[in-house]
Structure 1
């Protein structure tokens, strides 16, 4: 762990509010920056660094892929050069939906990572996905199920903070995350 670097991991199923909470967090403090994972594939490009299979292969060959997963027919990667750039620019906020991704990032990149569970019930994911016009709501519900199974398979997973986005506003969630990081930063300097 590098106590001089802070990072936030928002873990949760699709449409749980990770993007909305991150927006509120960056409005609260602009040093927080959503980490744009490398995406190889098609579909939504906003919030990602679009790449090619060749770029991903080169990063893998150099040992610079911290974690990669496949979902919705695409590959999403957390790469060392990308996290280096994000850490130099502020506090990276990484969105994940897999416990293995959390472990890979916490174990594979030296920073003081705060892990936040951002949660909502399955029916809320369905409503939010349909409400925002997703064309793949069924795939997002399957991902919600996979996230729940992933959590159940790792009962000892420790969350630094849990936020139910059906109960906490994005601003309240951002305030709580800000408090958590302030406490952690204070603990590393004390």
Structure 2
């Protein structure tokens, strides 16, 4: 088994974007996998598609995972994952709930290295305010949802590692992921 892609799971402000950037600085093969998105709100980091386009991809069996959240639809196109792996990139995808982590992992069990990023609620709030988020209350609700998701769905075997992102900086977190991925693949 050689795990060749990474799922970063965590609440808002847990460091998913920052750690993804740090991974890319360590090794340019670590590449953010843009999820498909139907709907409004934040546009950075997503590939916007129409509902009709998403329906077409679904009909072709290309959606590895599909999530309905915040009034939007988010999905991972398996063809995007395959193209990145074929190009010898290491896809890094951000996930916000365990059923989706499991669904994506099940789409190709020998590909996905699963990382849980944890940050206390008060640090989530502090980071959100410091970066100027206008929707901090919604981000705190998402933190609460993530906590409930862990309580309801994590069996203790969902993630390969957990990183407390309030205790180490992004570079150290990224290096921890790289080291853990190497150790896992060497055994």
- Equivalent residues, number: 185
Structure 2 length as normaliser, TM-score?
Answer: 0.92
Would the aligned equivalents of 1:7 and 1:111 in 2 still touch at CA under 8 Å?
A: no
Which residue number in structure 2 is paired with residue 53 of structure 1? 51
Q: Within 5 A, what are the aligned runs for 1:10-49?
A: 10-49=8-47
Structure 1 residue ranges, 4+ long, deviating more than 3 angstroms after superposition: none
Spell out, residue by residue over 1:104-157, the C-alpha distance to the aligned partner (whole angstroms, 9 max, x if none). Answer: 011113533211111101111111112222222221111111111010012414
State the distance in 1 between where 2:43 and 2:176 align: 29
Stretches of structure 2 that go unaligned for 5 or more consecutive residues are none
Q: Within 5 A, what are the aligned runs for 1:106-185?
A: 106-158=105-157, 159-185=159-185
State the distance in 2 between where 1:7 and 1:155 align: 20
State the distance in 2 between where 1:111 and 1:91 align: 13
Structure 1 length as normaliser, TM-score?
Answer: 0.91
State the distance in 2 between where 1:143 and 1:19 align: 16
1:95 counterpart SS class: strand
Which residue number in structure 2 is paired with residue 75 of structure 1? 73
